[in-house]
Amino acid sequence: MTKNRYWRLDRNPEGNDFDSALSLVDGELPPLEDGQVRIRNEYLSMDAGTRMWMGPREDGYQPPLPLGQPMAGLAIGRVTESRDDRYPEGTMMRAFGQWADYSTIVPDEAWAVALDESVEDIRDHFGALGLNGWTALHGLQDVIGIGEGDILVVSAAAGATGMLACQAGRNLGARVIGIAGGPEKCSFLVEKIGCEMAIDYKNEDVAKAIRGFGEKPTAYFENVGGEILDAVLPNMALRGRIGICGLVAGYDLDEPMPGPKHFDKILMNRLRVEGIFIPDVPERGPALYETLLGWLREDRIFLPFDETEGLDNTLVAYNRMMTGKNIGKVIVKL
């Protein structure tokens, strides 16, 4: 039997203490069942949303991962064995698999896709062309309805989803204000990503900085929640639109996040607030992909990678993302 190391979720993590909650264990690959595909993982995607699956909450958009099971996550790799004719041995794929040497998946339950290998950097299937890119563009086009002349605020703007939302917003005609932690990230957003202004929420008063922009934001792509939402919400323009993509500030709470302080501004300023969730709109995938691929080829969108090497260092990478050490997309190269 082939050996397969995998990360097992032993207990629900407290805060960012992932070392006590997950362990790397040695396993063996069982024979494939009908309909299953086996992928030799080459890259793992670190996604902030997976922090919710590690907790005990039953009322999220995804049930919690059972304790004692392999940690689930997006992987890119080549099929080594297949009992699904659509994905023969040798196919390069992206799918929700396991944090492991190998992912064993049922393609239709794993958001699996065969990848276009003519894309120069295969890692872009995690970033600009991946679910972060799809989420950013779907959120802006279909949920928020961004257009020429909008003033768009994006939080967690130097992370994967946020950085793509900044660039997609700019490409669709908006003037963009990014919010991120630290001066290095803020300089990057202005110099490389095309944000007109970047606010360092760790060192600046976010509400005051937004008021200082001169014109009120008409759109907000929210990735964080908590104090950042409290600073942006009361400063939105009349009839502003807010797309809630993520609430990373509350993913370790194990209970619902407290409501925003300025909830009444939704009435006073007739704001529209709506959640963004890409699995709701699988039919939008091909069109989103085409737009993003066009932008990538025209150098109108890019995403740097924060890459860590080795399956045994997966928690180092995950910690970098959850503690904001990353600029761009956090991945693990196996």
Ligand X SMILES: NC(=O)c1ccc[n+]([C@@H]2O[C@H](COP(=O)([O-])OP(=O)(O)OC[C@H]3O[C@@H](n4cnc5c(N)ncnc54)[C@H](OP(=O)(O)O)[C@@H]3O)[C@@H](O)[C@H]2O)c1
Smallest separation (angstroms) from ligand X to the CB of 2:
31
CB 69 within 8 A of CB 21: no
Tally helices (H) and strands (E) across the chain.
9, 15
Alpha-carbon torsion angle 108, 110, 111, 117, nearest 10: -100
Query: Distance between CA atoms of 247 and 237, rounded to whole angstroms?
Result: 22
Nearer to ligand X, 13 or 181 (CB): 181
CB 77 within 8 A of CB 42: yes
Smallest separation (angstroms) from ligand X to the CB of 231:
11
Nearer to ligand X, 29 or 190 (CB): 190
Residue count at the site for ligand X (CB under 6 A)?
28
Query: Distance between CA atoms of 67 and 34, rounded to whole angstroms?
Result: 26
Note whether 158 binds ligand X by CB under 6 A: yes
Note whether 324 binds ligand X by CB under 6 A: yes
Nearer to ligand X, 92 or 158 (CB): 158
Among 160, 232, 301, 331, binds ligand X (CB under 6 A): 160
Note whether 303 binds ligand X by CB under 6 A: no
Note whether 224 binds ligand X by CB under 6 A: yes
Among 82, 98, 103, 135, binds ligand X (CB under 6 A): 135
Note whether 127 binds ligand X by CB under 6 A: no
DSSP string, 41-64: EEEEE--TTHHHHHS--SSSSSPP
**Residue 147 backbone class (left: φ over 0; alpha: ψ -120 to 50; beta: rest):** beta
Q: Kindly state the helix (H) or strand (E) to which residue 96 belongs, with its residue range.
A: strand 92-98
Nearer to ligand X, 37 or 131 (CB): 131
- At residue 293's C-alpha, the angle toward residues 287 and 295, to 5°, is 105
Q: Which stretch binds ligand X (CB under 6 A): 26-34, 157-165, 166-174, 235-243?
A: 157-165
Note whether 195 binds ligand X by CB under 6 A: no
SS3 for 271?
A: coil
Q: Which stretch binds ligand X (CB under 6 A): 78-86, 113-121, 128-136, 203-211?
A: 128-136
Q: Please list every residue from 262 through 291 that binds ligand X, using CB under 6 A.
A: 276-278
Note whether 181 binds ligand X by CB under 6 A: yes
Note whether 73 binds ligand X by CB under 6 A: no
Query: Distance between CA atoms of 251 and 15, rounded to whole angstroms?
Result: 9
Smallest separation (angstroms) from ligand X to the CB of 80:
28
Burial classification of residue 307, based on how many CB atoms lie within 10 Å of its CB (0-12 exposed, 13-18 middle, 19 or more buried): middle
CB 310 within 8 A of CB 20: no
Binding site for ligand X (CB under 6 A): 47-49, 131-132, 135, 156, 158-162, 180-181, 185, 223-224, 245-246, 248-249, 276-278, 321, 324, 326, 330
